[in-house]
Amino acid sequence: MTKKASIKLFEHASTPNEMINLTEDDIKTLIYPVGFYKTKAKRIIEMSHKILEDYNGVVPDTIDELLKLKGVGRKTANIVITLGYAKLGICVDTHVHRISNRWGYVKTKNPTQTEFALREKLPKEYWIEYNDILVTYGQNVCVPISPKCSICPIEKYCPKIDVIKHR
């Protein structure tokens, strides 16, 4: 969903200068039905102004600088540096957090802890692709409630941590 919305938005505005020429309603329409689209539309305009004012119109290329932008969290910052700048990062969303813990690969309480645990443990050559693989897997097989263990190719290796019921 996010990818489709991004493509649609960037067809209309691909730079902070172009973004600030769109209205909030324009952006809402372009990114709908992405979750929190109303708030995100507002943040996109705010971020575009900040990037123009503080970064000479260039999106920052470090996690620390990206986190200074209101509305940008660690997941988004990692996506920007990995996809936008081809730098190493680990994007941790709900799927990556849940599955990494379900497998027992990490033992963490939230996505931020999971990111830092994975940075210590996961070989760097897998950092960028880890999210893509686990998101698809988490949406289709290792779902949050009642995972589909009967069709999982690695089921026999999985300790199923915190899995109460599975199919």
Which range marks the domain in which residue 110 is found? 94-157
Is the model's pLDDT at 37 over the cut of 90?
Answer: yes
pLDDT recorded at residue 81: 96
Residue type, 93: D
Number of domains in the chain: 2
- The Cα-based distances of 120 to 89, 90, 101, 115 in angstroms read 12, 11, 15, 9
Q: Which of 25, 54, 84 is the last residue of a domain?
A: 84
Catalytic machinery residues:
75, 93
Asked if 66 and 30 sit in the same domain, the reply is: yes
This prediction has a pTM of 0.87
Asked if 69 and 131 sit in the same domain, the reply is: no
Is the model's pLDDT at 2 over the cut of 90?
Answer: no
CATH of the domain at 79: 1.10.340.30
Determine, yes or no, domain membership for 165: no
Asked if 78 and 113 sit in the same domain, the reply is: no
Determine, yes or no, domain membership for 140: yes
pLDDT recorded at residue 3: 85
pLDDT recorded at residue 152: 96
Q: Which of 35, 54, 84 is the last residue of a domain?
A: 84
Distance CA 86, CA 75 (A): 15
CA-wise closest residue to 26 among 18, 69, 35: 18
Burial 16-37 (b: 16+ CB within 10 A, else e): beebbebeeebbbebbeebeeb
Confidence of residue 162 (pLDDT cuts 50, 70, 90): very high
Is the model's pLDDT at 1 over the cut of 90?
Answer: no
Determine, yes or no, domain membership for 164: no
Q: What is the pLDDT of residues 84-136, one digit of tens each?
A: 999 999 999 999 999 999 999 999 999 999 999 999 999 999 999 999 999 99
Determine, yes or no, domain membership for 54: yes
Is the model's pLDDT at 36 over the cut of 90?
Answer: yes
